[in-house]
Amino acid sequence: MKKTIAVLGGGCWGITLACHLYYKGNNLALWEYDKEKAKILDRKRKLSFLPHLRIPKDIFISSDLNEILAGKNIIVFAIPTIYFRSTAQKVAQILNYPGSTDSLEMLISGTKGLENNTFQRMSGILEEELPKKLHQKIVVLSGPSHAEEVSKGIPTAVTIAGRNKKTTLLAQKLFFTPTFRVYTNSDLAGVELAGAIKNIYAIACGVSDGLGLGDNTKSALVTRSLAEMIRLGRKLGAEVSTFYGLAGIGDLMVTCFSHWSRNRNFGEKIGQGKTVQQALKEIKMTVEGMETTKATYFLARKMKIELPIVNEVYSLIYKNKKPQEAMTNLLMRKPRSEFS
């Protein structure tokens, strides 16, 4: 059955998801918060970062959130972490009107990150800001899925997680195609946590690349990164098995090794000796790992969890530590058992 869907976020991922769902036969509306950018996007029907993808004329594009949300069955959030709560608050104001949620079947987060100060996951922000009757309709989409490849129809596998089995299965059906395989998972905390913090480790791997270190070094970094992810996940109530799946090791690998990965690319520029601001200027896109590094660093300190790689990435970004010094610090740590 055809759905009416609002995708919030006019970046690479939001546009990719909007086009993906449109070509499955749904009615789509795309929200870009910047009025001028929305006008340009509506006129050109293209984004410079996805030159091969043309946005169908039938996808309605606007910066007017009231217009975008009117009568929608499904809302997809593809907003940078730093703007996620403010966007959820705007959505909540609109949904507070009588009858505005009657047709709403699902709210989907496609954002991977942790909020600074609160350390909250995106589904948690939605639960805090939206009416309680909608909480069972919240699901998250995660896994190894670069927009540059999904938008070309390159085979991809992802995970949909939610607390309500019926809603999760509906979301699986909504996204599933022969080239976009969707698995379900009930571990909402694990899926979101893995999807967020792997960006930190992608920065670390990028630094290794920028320093010109080899495959051995990068393999060690990825393996120890997974150990840190599991260590944090256990403390936060996530299931260990999730970190061995698509949302965990799957997303970690693609983000640490892919030339599409903006987090890896950012780290590589830092490793080459560029400043944070120089690296960001060259990337020209949101580097989610920066905000997540800060949130995870302070969360780990608060909970007294040892995350050496996170600590070094934090020092690189926020304390101007030299890349070679950070790498040396990791290598000179006291020897220990691999699985202790």
- Give the model's pLDDT for residue 236: 96
pLDDT over threshold 90, residue 337: no
Give the chain's domains with CATH numbers. Answer: 4-187 (3.40.50.720), 190-331 (1.10.1040.10)
**What is the Cα–Cα distance from 288 to 297, expressed in whole angstroms?**
14
What average pLDDT does the segment 185-199 reach?
97
- Give the model's pLDDT for residue 74: 98
- Give the model's pLDDT for residue 27: 98
Among residues 245, 125, 253, which one has the least CA distance to residue 182? Answer: 245
Q: Give the other-Cβ count within 10 Å of 77's Cβ.
A: 28
**What is the Cα–Cα distance from 194 to 229, expressed in whole angstroms?**
7
For residue 59, give Cα distances in angstroms to 17, 21, 23: 12, 10, 10
What average pLDDT does the segment 33-47 reach?
95
Known catalytic residues are: 198
What average pLDDT does the segment 52-69 reach?
97
pLDDT over threshold 90, residue 97: no
- Give the model's pLDDT for residue 175: 98
How does strand 138-142 pair with strand 156-162? antiparallel
- Residue pair 222/252 in contact (Cβ under 8 Å)? The answer is yes
Q: pLDDT class for 177, splitting at 50, 70, 90? A: very high
Q: pLDDT class for 285, splitting at 50, 70, 90? A: confident
**What is the Cα–Cα distance from 123 to 119, expressed in whole angstroms?**
12
pLDDT in tens, 100-132: 777 899 999 999 999 999 999 999 999 999 999
pLDDT over threshold 90, residue 216: yes
- Give the model's pLDDT for residue 42: 96
pLDDT over threshold 80, residue 276: yes
The upper half-sphere exposure of residue 205, i.e. CA atoms within 13 Å in the direction of its Cβ, equals 30
- Write down the pTM of the prediction: 0.94
Among residues 157, 178, 175, 184, which one has the least CA distance to residue 3? Answer: 175
pLDDT in tens, 1-22: 799 999 999 999 999 999 999 9
- Give the model's pLDDT for residue 98: 72
**What is the Cα–Cα distance from 66 to 96, expressed in whole angstroms?**
12
Q: Could you tell me the two tokens for 82?
A: 């730093």
